[in-house]
Amino acid sequence: MTRVSEHLNQALHDLMESDPSVHLLGEDVGDPYGGAFKVTKGLSSRFGSRVRSTPLSEGAIAGVGAGLALAGDKAVVEIMFADFVALAFDQITNFAAKSTSMYGRPVPVPLVVRCPTGGNRGYGPTHSQNPQKHFIGVPGLSLFEMTPFHDAGRLFSLMFGLGRPCLFFEDKVLYTRQMYPADDLFGFELVDDVARVYLDGAGRPDCTLVTHGGLVHRTLDAMRTLLLEDDLVCELLVPAQLYPVPHLPGLEDARHVCVVDDGTAGGTWAAEVATTLYPRLWGRLRRPITLVNSADGVIPAAPHLEREVLVQADGIRAAVKESLS
Amino acid sequence: MIVTAAPARSPRHALSDEDLRSLLLIRHFERALLRLFEQGVLSGTTHTCLGQEYIPVAVSALLRDDDFVFSNHRGHGHFLARHPDPHGLLAEIMGREGALCGGVGGSQHIYHRRFLSTGVQGESLPVATGVALKLAGTGALACAYIGDGTWGEGAVYEALNMASLWKVPLLVVVEHNGIAQSTPTSAQMAGTIAARAAAFGVRHHHVSSTDAAEIRQVLAPLVEAVRAEPAPLVVEFATHRLGPHSKGDDTRPPEEIRRAAESDWYDRCAKADPERFARIDREQRELVERVVAEVSARPHARPGGAA
């Protein structure tokens, strides 16, 4: 059994060992600290100056990563809390992403910016966000998120293979969970890099849910209750690539689609997913796609208040039940 | 060869034909752009470096082929001093065939070989620091041109801090023309650039000469040290912008514009060596006229086919 944080750590070790052109930069990423969430543990001891603990300068760290990429190397940049990626917005959107196409020919910028996201840990309004939505629709920029179903090594190779900068979101609670969760009810498979979680032998589900890595466990909890308490069969699709929204397999047969997104309401990833699905499923849908998001508000520090703002299993269950009623 | 104490050469005569060609190519190119704007054949905006041409001419001769150059919104001179390709640059600005970047980048976004410009103030310095990190120890350096106004951006300080901590070969060329668009330095900068560089333990050198050959002589050992140590260096040029920020947006009082004009290298060089100057001046003016005529007649550029 491997925790997601350990799995990511191993993937970074493998990546840096197999590709000497990879650099890793971030605040407190060096040993013995090994990063705020220990994902970079052991890397500086093994790979020396290719791993740099940096000053508190998210913008410049992203810029330095882009510079290394421009000069022919590759860079993994860690933003300690995803909230702080706002400080690197210019470097990521105006420089790294645009450089891939604003010079009239493809310019590779192999840069992965890792962003630990999410709440439910009581860190409060500036250490708990899911800022994915702020980066949707930036030309030249791809968004990925870690899930318990996807091999991180494969994701790194996919991201670097694109030759354009990627944001890689990693939910902080997910770090503590196991990879490839075994479940007595649901099985999973990968279909074209999208994880499909399904009830074995159940046939056509009542509802197909779509979510991102950080919400997998809360969504599975909801699916379990929906099955056992409400007699509703759900299936779950979890793409590791969030944007551009990839092809989500099997939806032609869906009775209902519900997108669950931990970002706060308004201009959301869930809405972007629905936008890509409507033309494809138009004429088959019986009702509008259900969108579940965190509330339109800051994320409070006190656990009882935080819980009310963020998407929880009971909220997902209620939304599915309501839309199918 | 007998080495004696160098006679006090008149710096005016130290300019080579090549220097003059480069200075005058940039001067006539920028003048042509302002004319083309008046005629309504250019779109968007442009920022000319009239009066500041000697800076990239002085600096470029100190650069090697494997150095990386980062430029900004006022970058035509930086480009032409590095790559004397007025056809490609004008085609880029006009969106014509043969454009350096397929017409996508325009005046402010050029990437050609190891020359890259981008239009957000201060954005290039962290990127240049990353490139310099890669170049450290190879003898090559990253050179970034910025203005005095750029020192308002936090990215400058984040980058200087890292460049100094990590001892990377970063040459920051500051074109301090005393005005940021319409705001005089006195209204936008507290303290000095020298003191700001000192705060990061970064070497700083102030240049008040407008003579490219003389400047080069002074800078050569300093730039060599950037490569050899390696270590960052800030070179601050006290210079004057003769023209407007972009086009027709000069709000300076006439006496200030006159003062800027008095510092222009053009008249000084013309007086110093009238015959040679007149010959090269005519040659470059005619070259730019031909470039304008040729490029204007080309079909529109399509991205993907860029050089």
Chains A and B: how many Cβ contacts under 8 Å?
Answer: 119
* pLDDT score, position B8: 46
A33 and A127: one domain?
A: yes
Q: Is the ipTM of this complex over 0.90?
A: yes
- The percentage of chain A sitting over the pLDDT mark of 90, rounded to a whole number, equals 96
* pLDDT score, position B247: 78
Report long-range pairs for A282-289 (Cβ below 8 Å, ≥24 apart): A284/A252, A284/A254, A285/A256, A285/A257, A286/A255, A286/A256, A287/A256, A287/A323, A289/A257, A289/A258, A289/A259
By the CB < 8 Å criterion, does B303 face chain A?
Answer: yes
CATH number at residue A239: 3.40.50.920
Whether pLDDT at A319 is above 80: yes
Q: Which helix (H) or strand (E) holds B212?
A: helix B212-228
Render pLDDT for A98-151 as a digit per residue (tens, 0 to 9): 999 999 999 999 999 999 999 999 999 999 999 999 999 999 999 999 999 999
Q: Using the beta-carbon criterion (under 8 Å), do B129 and A55 form an inter-chain contact?
A: no
From B278's Cα to the closest Cα of chain A, the distance in A is 37
Locus of tokens 């997104």: A261
Bridge partners for A195 per DSSP? A190, A238
- The percentage of chain B sitting over the pLDDT mark of 70, rounded to a whole number, equals 95
Chain A's closest residue to B102, CA to CA, is A104
* pLDDT score, position A13: 98
Boundary of a domain, candidates A176, A204, A239: A176
Q: Which helix (H) or strand (E) holds B224?
A: helix B212-228
Is residue A181 a part of any domain in this protein? no
Q: Using the beta-carbon criterion (under 8 Å), do A71 and B303 form an inter-chain contact?
A: no
Q: Using the beta-carbon criterion (under 8 Å), do A70 and B127 form an inter-chain contact?
A: yes
Q: Which residues contact A139 (CB under 8 A, 6 or more apart)?
A: A97, A98, A101
A166 and A54: one domain?
A: yes
From A114's Cα to the closest Cα of chain B, the distance in A is 18
Q: Which residue among B105, B126, B131 places its CB closest to the CB of A103? A: B105
CATH number at residue A139: 3.40.50.970
**Residue B145 near residue B70 (C-beta atoms within 8 A):** yes
Structure token pair of residue B92: 């880029």
Structure token pair of residue B239: 């210079």
* pLDDT score, position B306: 43
Mean pLDDT of successive 10-residue segments in chain B (307 residues)? 45 78 97 94 88 96 98 96 97 96 94 96 97 98 97 97 98 93 89 98 97 96 98 96 82 86 91 95 98 97 67
Determine the Cα–Cα distance for residues B155 and A166; give it in Å rounded to an integer.
Answer: 21
Q: What is the CA radius of gyration of chain B?
A: 19
Determine the Cα–Cα distance for residues B74 and B267; give it in Å rounded to an integer.
Answer: 22
Q: What integer is the mean pLDDT of A300-320?
A: 97
Contacts of A54 in chain B (CB under 8 A): 162
Locus of tokens 């047969």: A253
Count of other CB atoms within 10 angstroms of residue A246: 15
Query: At what angle are helices B274-296 and B86-94 packed, to 10 degrees?
Result: 40
DSSP secondary structure, B68-81, as one string = EEEE-SS-HHHHHH
* pLDDT score, position B14: 79
Structure token pair of residue B81: 């001093």
Is residue A66 a part of any domain in this protein? yes
Q: What is the CA radius of gyration of chain A?
A: 19
Q: What is the largest CA-CA distance in chain B?
A: 58
Determine the Cα–Cα distance for residues B80 and B176; give it in Å rounded to an integer.
Answer: 20
Q: CA distances (Å), A141 to each of A110, A135, A243, A303, B116, in order?
A: 11, 8, 8, 34, 20
Q: Residue A140 CA to chain centroid, in angstroms? A: 18
* pLDDT score, position A58: 98
By the CB < 8 Å criterion, does A108 face chain B?
Answer: no
* pLDDT score, position A200: 87
A144 and A110: one domain?
A: yes
From A272's Cα to the closest Cα of chain B, the distance in A is 27
Three-state DSSP state, B247: coil
Structure token pair of residue B221: 């050992």
A39 and A59: one domain?
A: yes
Cis peptide, bond prior to residue A303, ω within 30 of zero = no
Give me the domain span that covers residue A166: 4-176
From B72's Cα to the closest Cα of chain A, the distance in A is 13
Three-state DSSP state, A178: strand
Q: Which residue among A57, A63, A101 places its CB closest to the CB of B127? A: A63
Q: For chain B, what's the residue count?
A: 307
Bridge partners for B173 per DSSP? B145, B235
Q: Which of A284, A226, A220 is nearest to A254 (CA)?
A: A284
Probe site for chain A from B67, B133, B165 (most A CB atoms < 10 A): B133
Determine the Cα–Cα distance for residues B58 and B15; give it in Å rounded to an integer.
Answer: 10
Chain B's closest residue to A65, CA to CA, is B130
Q: How would you classify residue B145: left for phi > 0, otherwise alpha for psi between -120 and 50, otherwise beta?
A: beta
Amino acid making up residue B287 = L
Q: How many Å from the N-terminal Cα to the C-terminal Cα in chain B?
A: 44
B residues 167-186 closer than 8 Å to A (CB): none
Q: What's the whole-number average pLDDT of chain A?
A: 97
Determine the Cα–Cα distance for residues B25 and B81; give it in Å rounded to an integer.
Answer: 9
Render pLDDT for A137-147 as a digit per residue (tens, 0 to 9): 999 999 999 99
Q: Which residues contact B152 (CB under 8 A, 6 or more apart)?
A: B121, B122, B180, B188, B189
Q: For chain A, what's the residue count?
A: 325
Count of other CB atoms within 10 angstroms of residue A269: 26
From A256's Cα to the closest Cα of chain B, the distance in A is 43
**Residue B307 near residue B88 (C-beta atoms within 8 A):** yes
Show the CA angle centred on residue A167, arms to residues A148 and B114, nearest 5°.
140
A150 and A288: one domain?
A: no
By the CB < 8 Å criterion, does B152 face chain A?
Answer: no
Q: How would you classify residue A96: left for phi > 0, otherwise alpha for psi between -120 and 50, otherwise beta?
A: alpha
A264 and A168: one domain?
A: no
* pLDDT score, position B7: 45
By the CB < 8 Å criterion, does B132 face chain A?
Answer: yes
Contacts of A66 in chain B (CB under 8 A): 126-127, 130
Probe site for chain B from A105, A107, A109 (most B CB atoms < 10 A): A105
Amino acid making up residue B114 = R
By the CB < 8 Å criterion, does A54 face chain B?
Answer: yes
Three-state DSSP state, B18: helix
DSSP secondary structure, A301-325, as one string = SSHHHHHHHS--HHHHHHHHHHHH-
Q: CA distances (Å), A310 to each of A121, A264, A265, A285, in order?
A: 11, 8, 10, 28
Q: Using the beta-carbon criterion (under 8 Å), do A60 and B129 form an inter-chain contact?
A: yes
The answer to whether the Cα torsion of A116, A118, A123, A127 is positive or negative is: positive
Three-state DSSP state, A30: coil
Q: Which of B24, B129, B137, B122 is nearest to B68 (CA)?
A: B129
From A65's Cα to the closest Cα of chain B, the distance in A is 6
Structure token pair of residue A60: 């410049």
By the CB < 8 Å criterion, does A72 face chain B?
Answer: yes
Boundary of a domain, candidates A157, A176, A195: A176
Q: Which residues contact B279 (CB under 8 A, 6 or more apart)?
A: none
**Residue A107 near residue B169 (C-beta atoms within 8 A):** no
Is residue A27 a part of any domain in this protein? yes
Chain B's closest residue to A96, CA to CA, is B127
Structure token pair of residue A143: 């968004």
Probe site for chain A from B89, B109, B134, B172 (most A CB atoms < 10 A): B134
By the CB < 8 Å criterion, does A59 face chain B?
Answer: yes
By the CB < 8 Å criterion, does B139 face chain A?
Answer: no
Query: At what angle are helices B154-165 and A58-70 packed, to 10 degrees?
Result: 70
A36 and A155: one domain?
A: yes
Contacts of B133 in chain A (CB under 8 A): 64, 67-68
Bridge partners for A211 per DSSP? A260
Number of domains in chain A: 2
Q: Using the beta-carbon criterion (under 8 Å), do A59 and B111 form an inter-chain contact?
A: no
Q: Using the beta-carbon criterion (under 8 Å), do B130 and A64 form an inter-chain contact?
A: yes
User: Residue B294: is it exposed, middle or buried by C-beta count within 10 angstroms (0-12/13-18/19+)?
Assistant: middle
Boundary of a domain, candidates A123, A158, A176: A176
User: Which CATH number is B16-37+47-243+253-291's, of 3.40.50.970, 1.10.10.10, 1.10.390.10, 3.40.50.300?
Assistant: 3.40.50.970
